[in-house]
């Protein structure tokens, strides 16, 4: 299901720029490796919180693509930190690097993650090739 932008003013832009950064394999700010989808689903996240303690929590996605996504976490974690996400429907796990941190709020903190290895089917969606620079690409549910 695709919905409107639910990110607070400016946070979506910062997250998108993190995913567009040349250090992550893209060639220009308008070129994406895969389309993005506003897709809410629960996943389990585990790693080390900002305070250094291990955590494990069920969190929810906000935006996803074949290379990672934007999550809402209750634990504050540092940029560059490694976490493991598990899809509870498939029990598939993906190692991720934190590439974006939103401002903490009542619901938690928006965290942008990049998979260490692309996993286009991890979210239960299939991301098609992009047809235009900066376009959204086609996606299909693959439950």
Chain segment 62-116, per-residue pLDDT in tens: 999 989 999 999 998 999 999 999 999 999 999 999 999 998 888 899 999 999 9
pLDDT tens column, 116-130: 998 888 998 776 644
Domain parsing of the chain, residue ranges: 11-141
Which tokens is 60 given?
């929810």
Which pLDDT score is estimated for 127?
67
What per-residue confidence (pLDDT) applies to 128? 61
Q: Look up the CATH superfamily of 11-141.
A: predicted glycosyltransferase like domains (2.40.10.220)
For 29-77, the pLDDT digits (tens) are 444 555 667 789 999 999 999 899 999 999 999 999 989 999 999 998 9
The answer to whether the predicted template modeling score (pTM) of the entire model surpasses 0.95 is no
Residue 35's pLDDT is 67
Burial class (CB in 10 A: 0-12, 13-18, 19+), 124: middle
Measured at the CA of 97, the angle between CA 94 and CA 98, to 5 degrees, comes to 125
| Cβ within 8 Å of residue 56, ≥6 positions away | 44, 45, 46
| Buried-state track 5-22, b at ≥16 Cβ within 10 A, e below 16 | eebeeebbeebbebbbee
Alpha-carbon gap, residue 28 to 119, rounded angstroms:
22
| Residue pair 26/33 in contact by the 8 Å Cβ criterion | yes
**Cβ(118)–Cβ(131) under 8 Å?**
no
**pLDDT value, residue 5:** 40
Give the C-alpha separation, 89 to 12, whole Å.
27
């Amino acid at each position: 299901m695709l919905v409107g932008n639910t990110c607070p003013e400016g946070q979506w832009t910062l997250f998108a720029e993190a995913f567009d950064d040349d250090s992550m394999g893209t060639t220009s700010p308008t070129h994406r490796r895969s389309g993005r989808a506003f897709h809410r689903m629960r996943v389990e996240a585990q790693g080390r919180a900002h305070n250094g303690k291990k955590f494990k929590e069920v969190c929810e996605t906000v935006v996803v693509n074949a290379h990672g996504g934007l999550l809402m976490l209750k634990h504050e974690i540092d940029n560059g930190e490694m976490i493991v996400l598990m899809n509870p429907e498939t029990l598939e796990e993906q190692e991720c690097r934190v590439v974006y941190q939103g401002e903490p709020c009542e619901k938690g903190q928006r965290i942008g993650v990049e998979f260490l290895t692309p996993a286009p089917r991890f979210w239960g969606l299939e991301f098609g090739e992009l047809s235009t620079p900066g376009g959204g690409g086609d996606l299909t549910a693959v439950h």
